[in-house]
Each structure stands twice: as structure tokens, then as C-alpha cells.
Amino acid sequence: MNVLITDDEVQIRKGLRMKVDWEKEGFQIVGEASNGQEALEKIKVTDVDIVITDVRMPIMDGIEFVKRCNLEHPHIKVIVLSGYSDFEYVRSSLIEGVKDYLLKPVAPDELVDVLRRIKREGKEEKKKQIESERMSRVFHNQLEEIREQYLLHLVKEDWSEPTIAIERLYQLQLEAFANENVEVQFVTVEMRTSNRNRMNLKELWLPFRMMCRELAEGYEGTYSFYDASYANIIHFIHRVDLEPLKQNSSFIQTVQRQVKELINVETVIGIGKVVTGLKEFKSGFISALLSWSQSQLGSQSQVIDGTFSKEMFEYSPDFEKRLINAIENMNHDAFKTNIYSLLGGTNNQSIMTFSFSSNRVLFLLGSLARKYDLDTNDINNTIWNCQQSIWELNSQNRVIEQLIHLAQSIIERVNEARCSSNGAMIVENVRRYLEKHYASEISLTTLAEQFHINSAYLSEIFKNHVGQNFSDYLIKLRMDKAQHFLKDQQLKIIDVAHLVGFSNSGYFSTVFKKQFGKTPVEYRKSLNFSQ
């Protein structure tokens, strides 16, 4: 630790140097000053941890120096020296920032004891600071994870309540995308390398993902997210009003340059169409994927700009609802009829339109498969094979057959869940759904509609299998998540409330206290005390 000695008498300063074996004790004297003003000037240009200062000095005395030092350099520890006549007065004044007071002439052992204590406390503070910073990084990474998961949910999962989606965007501080007129673009970025170095991509995935997250933070209105279905790929959502994205846009060029410079791989970038509002997010996301799918094979960097295509894609929410109803009602023929009406080749659609529409159907089926716990290797392989067939752009019949086969597998699972004698499978599906969507506006009625069963029956079997009613279970789940988030000191109480699905911090605090016997503020203080 670096020490600055401040006293207007040269002999006192020399004496202090001789009283302690500074190097042996782990200290280094980095300078001297004859008054408080001179000490402040030296602190500005020198790394100082401890200042030993006299009280009586010209120009600026020790008392004024301590006040200024604590205000401008609060990390510096100050030891105040005082003559007998001033000692009791100075010590009783309790000036903020002073670690200890010593009576002149200073006894060497007293000075060593004070220095050792400051050194010991400094190590503890440094340890706590490192741990606090580590915890902050962990929890802020988790907040970013939640944001990424929700963005993926908006572009891939089935959601039908814009009001709930908008509220969740506000809770996750993504309100820029809540405006119904917001214009956005999606960008798909794949890292590529030569075949012989392909194994290195697994090792580079985490650095690539973290780099993309940092790049997004540097551009206002831009966020990154990823989909485990696509290896080595990161997606971005970008607000168009800040800068429409083209091949020569600064963001696109920065992504390619930094990925090449920092992790030494090439990038293939697909730029999607401009779309307006939440309801068009899926279309924008798929258009970026379609741009990316037109890239040439090989490891060279490429940018494919799909924004110049004049072709419009028609895929109505009503049609998607018909497909969902066909699955949920276990009507395979209805699903088949609707698929052929959309993709069957009698409507003179282009390959691009077919690819877009079939991707929308695949996203829908993937969402339903996860909802009914069909996230198995067989189903994932089916989804992946279907995706590959779509990208081939010349396998229309195979794509239709694969979609119908996937739908049949989901229908069989739905039937199995509905026909289970005690409802255990339905309850387990509901619990998984709540684990993902606990922060959304959820009621027993909406859940029953989601799973196409009677709400009274769902209430009964849920309590039988879980041991508590639905509302108590949801509150416990939210409060457990809240405990987790409260460990991050940088999250405000209202932020935590929003993250677990409460729009009002007062009501959140009331529920939290009822659950744990402490308010969120009291709980957070108890954590600090234990640390």
C-alpha cells in the first residue's frame, strides 16, 4: 500500500520514515507534503492508499484536508497526528474519512498497529469488492439472459395477447419495442471457419456470444439473442429509426471487423426486411434467416441483404390460430387440409414465399412441441431435418410431409396427456410453462385455455399433484425468483418487481413480506449484514 506523509516540519516527516520498516510491513512511502493543499495536488498525480497528516499546518490544515480528501478521494485512508493540546478535541470531532488518531510524538508500535489494521481491513474490503463485482456480473448476465429468452419467445413462440407482451417488454427495460409503430430489422450472424477448424467453433461460441452482446450494447436500440436450434449463430434486433441496416452500415461492418480481429473467424450475415410492430417480429426474424440461407458455402465472409426483395409475405394470425386449434383438438385431417392450402403449390407461390410460410409453421410446431414436453432427440432431429429441407429451396413435398409428420407426433402427445388417468402429465406441462412464463400475466383461466381443458378440472388436478393451489404456487415461484434477483445490488426494488411479474412495487413488497416475514429492502439489508 502506498503512503503519503504530510507535515509542515521536515524533521517530523523524516522521523516518521525512520519509525517503521515500511517495506517489511508491506508499505511504500511514495511522497511527502508540507500542507493539505500540497497533499491534494500530489494525490491527483500519485497512486495513494494512506495519508498520514498533522493537524496544524499552514495554507490548509489537517482538518480541512481530511474533509476535502474524503469528498474527492473517498477510498484513501487517513491517519491524523495531533499534539497533546489538540488531541482530545480532534479525536472527539469524528471527522468522516479518518481511520485513526495518534498523539505526537508517535510511538512506533502504535503506528505499526494502525498500519497493520488498515492493511488488514483493506484486504477485506478488496475481497468484498471483488465478490460484489462478481455477483453483479453474474446477476446482470442473468438479466441479459432473461431478455434474450423473451426476445426469442416473441419471434418463435405462440403468443396472442399484445397487452401482456408489451407489459413484459417494459418490465425488461425493452420498452423501445413496445410501440405498435416501431420499425425493426433482424440480423442473423453466423461465424464460419474452414472444415478442418470446425471443432474450434464450439470453443469460440461463448466468446462470440459475449462479443455480440457487447457490440449490441454499443448501438442504441440494438439487442442480441440466440436460438439453440441454430449452431454458431447470433441474432440481433435493431430499431430502424436509429439507422436502417444495409451492407455498408456501421453496425454490420463493425460486427465483421471485430469478430475477425478478436476471435479470428469469418462471419456470414443475413439482413432481414424492415417490419412494423410486435405482430410482425416473426416475419422479420424469418426474413433475416432467409437472407442468411442464401449465402454461398465456404468460410468466406458474406453479407446478404434481403431488404431489396419486393416480395411480400402473407401469413395471417387467423390461419396460425386454425393450425393451433387443429393440433390442440387432435384433428390431424384439419391440420393437413390447412397445410396443403398454404403450401400445396396450387397458389402460384414463389420459392421464397414457400420458405417463409413453412418456417412460420415450423416455428409454431416447435413451440407446441416444447409446450407438451416433446423436446426429445427424435423431435429435435425431425425439426432440424425439416429446417434443412426448407433451406434447400427445392424440397417442397418433403417439407410438407415432414411438417405433417411432426404435427402428428404432437397430436399423439396431446392425446396422451389428455387421456392420462390422473392428469399428472398435464400438471407437469403446466409447471414447465409457469417456470418459463412466471413473470407474465397468468391466470387459471388463461392456462386452461392454453391447454384446452376445463379450468375447474385443471384447478383440481393441480392441487392434487402439487399440494397447493395454482395461485399459491405461482406466488411462491415468483417470490423465490425475487429472492434471487434481490442479491444484485444494482437492481432497484421496482426492477425486481417487474422481473417477477409485478407492475406495482408496493404490492410486490406486501406479498414478499407475507411470504418471508421481511420487506424486500429488509431482506437485502440482511444479505449485506451477513456478507
Residues 243, 290 contacting (CB under 8 angstroms)? no
Phi-psi region of 103 (alpha: psi -120 to 50; beta: other; left: phi over 0): beta
DSSP state of 296: P
Cβ-based burial of 285 (10 A; exposed 0-12, middle 13-18, buried ≥19) = buried
DSSP of 181-242: T-EEEEEEEEEE--GGGTTHHHHHHHHHHHHHHHHHHTSTTEEEE--TTSTTEEEEEEETTT
Q: What pLDDT is stored for residue 529 in this prediction?
A: 45
pLDDT digits (tens, 9 = 90+) for 178-216: 888 999 999 999 998 875 566 678 889 999 999 999 999
pLDDT recorded at residue 238:
95
Cα angle, residue 527 at apex, residues 522 and 528 outer, rounded to 5°: 95
In sequence order, what are the beta bridge partners of 442?
none
Which residue, 34, 19, 28, 24, is CA-closest to 50? 28
All three cell numbers of 508, joined, read: 410486490
Name the CATH architecture for the domain at 148-308: 2-Layer Sandwich (3.30)
Residue 416 to residues 340, 413, 428, 454, Cα–Cα distance (Å): 26, 5, 13, 17
Q: How far apart are CA 71 and CA 43, in angstroms?
A: 13
Which residue type, as a one-letter code, is found at position 274? V
Residues 6+ apart with CB under 8 A from 297: none
What would the CATH number be for the domain defined by 470-530? Answer: 1.10.10.60
User: What dihedral do alpha carbons 349, 355, 361, 365 form, nearest 10°?
Assistant: 150
Model pLDDT, residue 311: 57
Q: Are strands 233-239 and 222-225 parallel, antiparallel or unpaired?
A: antiparallel
φ and ψ of 427, to 5 deg: -60, -40
Q: Which among 17, 59, 5 has a CA at the least distance from the CA of 35?
A: 59
Orientation angle between helical segments 108-156 and 281-293, nearest 10 degrees: 90
**CB pairs under 8 A, 24+ apart, for 242-248?**
243/219, 244/185, 244/274, 244/307, 245/185, 245/187, 245/271, 245/307, 246/271, 246/305, 246/307, 247/271, 247/303, 247/305
pLDDT digits (tens, 9 = 90+) for 135-172: 666 666 777 888 898 999 888 877 767 888 888 888 88
Q: So what's the architecture of 2-106 in CATH?
A: 3-Layer(aba) Sandwich (3.40)
Alpha-carbon distance of 214 to 344, in angstroms, equals 44
User: What per-residue confidence (pLDDT) applies to 171?
Assistant: 82
Q: What is the pLDDT of residues 354-377, one digit of tens each?
A: 888 888 899 889 888 888 877 777
- CA Rg value for the chain: 32
CA distance 5 to 12: 9
Round to whole Å and give the CA distance between 487 and 476. Answer: 17
CA 309 to chain centre: 34
How far is it, in rounded angstroms, from Cα 384 to Cα 139?
32
| Contact indicator for 426, 444 with CB cutoff of 8 Å | no
For 473, the enclosing helix (H) or strand (E) is helix 470-486
Please, what sign has the CA dihedral across residues 289, 293, 298, 304? negative
Residue tagged 439482413 (cell numbers): 271
CA 113 vs CA 77, 117, 456: distances in Å? 15, 6, 72
Q: How many CB atoms lie within 10 A of CB 200?
A: 15
- Residue that is written with C-alpha cell 484486504 in the block: 123
* CA atoms of 186 and 236, how far apart (whole Å): 6
Residues of the chain predicted below pLDDT 70: 84-85, 89, 91-95, 97, 132, 135-140, 160, 195-199, 308-314, 345-349, 393-394, 420-421, 528-531
Minimal CA–CA distance to 140: which of 177, 175, 164, 173? 173
Parallel, antiparallel, or unpaired: how do β-strands 233-239 and 98-103 relate?
A: unpaired
